[in-house]
Structure 1
Amino acid sequence: MYKRLLAAIDRTDPIGTDLIGRRCKTLVDASGPSIALIHVRLSLPESYVRHLPPQWEADEFIETENWLRQIAMDHGFAAHLSDVFPPTGNVASEVTQIATNIGADLIIVAAHRATIGRRILGSNAHAIMRDAPCDVLIVRD
Structure 2
Amino acid sequence: MPYATILAAVDVNNPDLAHAAIAGAAEIAGTTGTVHILYVRYYLPTRYSELLAIDFDEREEEEAMAAMQAWADEAGLDPARTQIFTRRGRVRDEVLIEAERRGADLIVIGSHQPSLSSKLLGSNASAIVHQSAISVLTVRTVSK
Same fold (TM over 0.5): yes
Which runs of 4 or more aligned residues in structure 1 lie more than 2 Å from their structure 2 counterparts after TM superposition? 78-82
Q: CA RMSD in A?
A: 1.7
Whether 1:106 and 2:109 are equivalent positions in the alignment is: no
Contact 2:12/2:68 (8 A) holds in 1: no
Q: 5+ unaligned residues in a row in structure 2: which ranges?
A: none
Distance in 1 separating the partners of 2:60 and 2:19: 21
Aligned residues with identical type, % of pairs: 28
Distance in 1 separating the partners of 2:20 and 2:49: 33
Q: Residue 8 of structure 1 corresponds to which residue in structure 2?
A: 9
Distance in 1 separating the partners of 2:78 and 2:11: 18
Distance in 2 separating the partners of 1:39 and 1:7: 9
Equivalent position SS for 2:28: helix
In structure 2, what residue type is equivalent to 1:117?
S
TM-score between both structures, scaled by the size of structure 2: 0.87
Q: Residue by residue, what CA displacement relative to the aligned partner does 1:65-120 show, whole Å, maximum 9, x if unpaired?
A: 23222211121113354322211111111100111111111000112111111011
In structure 1, what residue type is equivalent to 2:4?
K
Contact 1:111/1:140 (8 A) holds in 2: yes
Equivalent position SS for 2:96: helix
Distance in 1 separating the partners of 2:47 and 2:80: 40
TM-score between both structures, scaled by the size of structure 1: 0.89
Matched residue pairs, number?
A: 140
